[in-house]
Chains A and B, each alone.
Chain A
Amino acid sequence: MIDELVQLISVSTRELATEQGIDVPQSLDAGTRLFGEGGLLDSMALVSLVIAVEQALEDKYSVAVALADEKALSQRSSPYRTIGTLAAYAAQELSARKAG
């Protein structure tokens, strides 16, 4: 599940980077830093990525998932630090939706 989500987020990140002219490394993986220190995205691009990932999740799993989070912009505990943390957060939200 996590691998699948890392893949999905990597694809969304690459699409967004192309659209917005952001430089990204050749290969993206769970360790790729998205936001905060050394991150690829500024806050505006992060917002666009979170929205794109929400929509991709909805298209793939047919559940509406909200990835907005109170801790979004906190550097230490933000789920948006890396592709891996975002994937873990998405997995958690997805299973909560499915259980609900």
Chain B
Amino acid sequence: MTTVTLITGTRKGIGRHLAEHYLARGHRVIGCSRQPADLDHEHYRHFEADVADEASVKALFTAVRKDYGRLDNLINNAGIASMNHSLLTPVETVRRVMDTNLTGAFLFAREAAKIMQKNKYGRIVNFTTVAVALNLEGEAAYVASKAAVEALTRVMARELAIYGITVNAVGPVPIETDLIRSVPKDKIANLVARQAIKRLGTLPDVSNVVDFFLQPDSGFVSGQVIYLGGV
């Protein structure tokens, strides 16, 4: 049976890496982003969708159900950041960040679990950040949205356990992606200094943890958050 893996935010960065990583391992990969992706592979299918838009998300899952008939793994990678002091953060930014990071993760997990419960098997991996554990200043909205994702991870782990579905989260340190390109160098250096292992993360550091959560042998691991860098 071929493994079907759905990854959100696959146009670039970590999501793109994960899509290529699992395609290389023989998975059928379904990806999505708001814009088209240039990832061309016979086993890759791309959807253009805003993860926080319920109608588009439901349409995507209808296609998954009809075309693949199953879903083994969901990787809720899509996310946006806002690097702003709370006093300088417009409310619209807070809403946008919460919508993409929390509502998006919620909608995908909910719809994925509806398909997974049928087979009594599923793996859901959410994305958080070490900034939650570090209470990192300058990212209040982003950190709050990811703290909510961690709570969602723990509660859904309990709710979905009965269906053989595990829900876990990985919290990367800064990695060279678009998300941190706009962050001042000294901010990144400060963050790295607070890690036990003081270097930037790499894409394989992230896929290694995701690999662990996705393994069929990890069926007894749920509701957990693994931070990179020894945070």
Q: Does B55 lie within 8 Å of A64, measured CB to CB?
A: yes
Q: Does A58 lie within 8 Å of B62, measured CB to CB?
A: yes
Interface residues on A, range: under 10
Q: Does A64 lie within 8 Å of B58, measured CB to CB?
A: yes
Residues of B within 8 A of A48 (CB): 117-118
Q: Does B62 lie within 8 Å of A51, measured CB to CB?
A: no
Give bound CA distance, A48 to B113, whole Å: 10
Residue of B nearest to A43 (CB): B162
Q: Does A64 lie within 8 Å of B59, measured CB to CB?
A: yes
Contact of B65 with A by CB under 8 A: yes
Q: How many residues on chain B are close to A (CB under 8 Å)?
A: 9
Q: Does B65 lie within 8 Å of A51, measured CB to CB?
A: no
Residues of A within 8 A of B117 (CB): 47-48, 51
Give bound CA distance, A90 to B218, whole Å: 38
Q: Does A55 lie within 8 Å of B65, measured CB to CB?
A: yes
Q: Does A44 lie within 8 Å of B162, measured CB to CB?
A: yes
Residues of B within 8 A of A54 (CB): 114
Give bound CA distance, A51 to B117, whole Å: 9
Chain B, 53-75, CB within 8 A of any chain A CB: 55, 58-59, 62, 65
Give bound CA distance, A14 to B156, whole Å: 28
Q: Does B114 lie within 8 Å of A64, measured CB to CB?
A: no
Residues of A within 8 A of B58 (CB): 64, 66
Give bound CA distance, A66 to B111, whole Å: 11
B121 to chain A, nearest CB (A): 14
Residue of B nearest to A59 (CB): B66
Chain A, 22-67, CB within 8 A of any chain B CB: 44, 47-48, 51, 54-55, 58, 64, 66
Give bound CA distance, A47 to B114, whole Å: 9
A97 to chain B, nearest CB (A): 10
Give bound CA distance, A30 to B114, whole Å: 25
Give bound CA distance, A64 to B114, whole Å: 13
A82 to chain B, nearest CB (A): 23
Give bound CA distance, A58 to B111, whole Å: 14
Give bound CA distance, A48 to B114, whole Å: 8
Give bound CA distance, A66 to B114, whole Å: 12
Residues of B within 8 A of A44 (CB): 162
B138 to chain A, nearest CB (A): 37
Interface pairs (7), CB distance under 8 Å: A44-B162, A47-B117, A51-B114, A55-B65, A58-B62, A64-B59, A64-B62
Chain B residues at the A interface, C-beta cutoff of 8 Å: 55, 58-59, 62, 65, 114, 117-118, 162
Could you list 12 further interchain pairs (A-B, Cβ under 8 angstroms) beyond the known A51-B118, A54-B114, A55-B114?
A44-B162, A47-B117, A48-B118, A51-B114, A51-B117, A55-B65, A58-B62, A64-B55, A64-B58, A64-B59, A64-B62, A66-B58
Which 9 A-B pairs rank lowest in CB-CB distance, beginning with the nearest?
A64-B58, A51-B114, A44-B162, A58-B62, A48-B117, A64-B62, A55-B65, A51-B117, A64-B59
